[in-house]
Amino acid sequence: KQEVTQIPAALSVPEGENLVLNCSFTDSAIYNLQWFRQDPGKGLTSLLLIQSSQREQTSGRLNASLDKSSGRSTLYIAASQPGDSATYLCAVKVGGADGLTFGKGTHLIIQP
Amino acid sequence: GAGVSQTPSNKVTEKGKYVELRCDPISGHTALYWYRQSLGQGPEFLIYFQGTGAADDSGLPNDRFFAVRPEGSVSTLKIQRTERGDSAVYLCASSLLAGEFVTQYFGPGTRLTVL
């Protein structure tokens, strides 16, 4: 059974810092990996989707990498801002399953 | 355009009661998913519809949970004889198609509290 782990569970940093969120998964036979953002009381917003054949994706200040063979992904946030404060979730899609398998998330606070 | 909408946003019920949660997917999206998110956890997959049919219901925890999508658009998740352990946020997502290259778009969720 696929398991997704996110480290750290919580992170608080001053505004302006660059930071890295980590995600690991136990079964490397994935179709894709997605990073989502969840704000309190709201649904999930997709940030980046990396297909299994890709190594990274970039969107603005966000960069996500994927190392399928080692079962790891990182989300890099450059020049963090208070508006980046949210819970960040990593999810993988595996073959033979229709739903996504999520980690528990990293709760990020950016201090002004 | 309009995103995925879910109603009600909050539902409080008593143990043993029946509840229905509604999801309106993005217009034209053929794939629809239900997830459940407990406090401090990531969402867990419940069921997936392709069109009107439940293509994968492997995540439904037991036979008290049932979902329908009769016309291939709106979906209703039904929970019978609710238990306190059913308390969670129920999330709905839709995608244009199913597959590994397609992003799922999530609604804001329904927070269910069973007293």
Average pLDDT over all residues of chain B: 93
* Cβ-nearest to B109 among A43, A49, A102: A43
DSSP, collapsed to helix, strand or coil, labels residue A25 as strand
B53 touches chain A (CB under 8 A): no
Polymer length of chain B? 115
Q: Are B87 and B112 in contact (CB under 8 A)?
A: yes
**pLDDT per position as a tens digit, B63-104:** 999 999 999 899 999 999 999 999 999 999 999 876 666 788
Q: How many angstroms separate the CA of residue A79 from the nearest CA in chain B?
A: 26
Within 8 A of B108 by CB-CB distance, chain A residues are: 41-43
Q: Does position A84 have pLDDT exceeding 70, yes or no?
A: yes
For chain A, percent of residues with pLDDT exceeding 70:
97
When comparing pLDDT for B97 and A6, which is higher?
A: A6
Q: Select from A76, A82, A60 the least CA-distant residue to A12.
A: A82
Of the residues A21, A30, A33, A44, the best mutation for testing chain B's interface (the one with the most B CB atoms within 10 Å of its CB) is A44
Comparing alpha-carbon positions, the chain B residue that sits nearest to A104 is B42
pLDDT tens for residues A32-47? 999 999 998 788 999 9
Residue B94 backbone class (left: φ over 0; alpha: ψ -120 to 50; beta: rest): beta
Indicate whether A96 pLDDT > 70: no
Q: Of B49, B86, B93, B89, nearest to B71 (Cα)?
A: B49
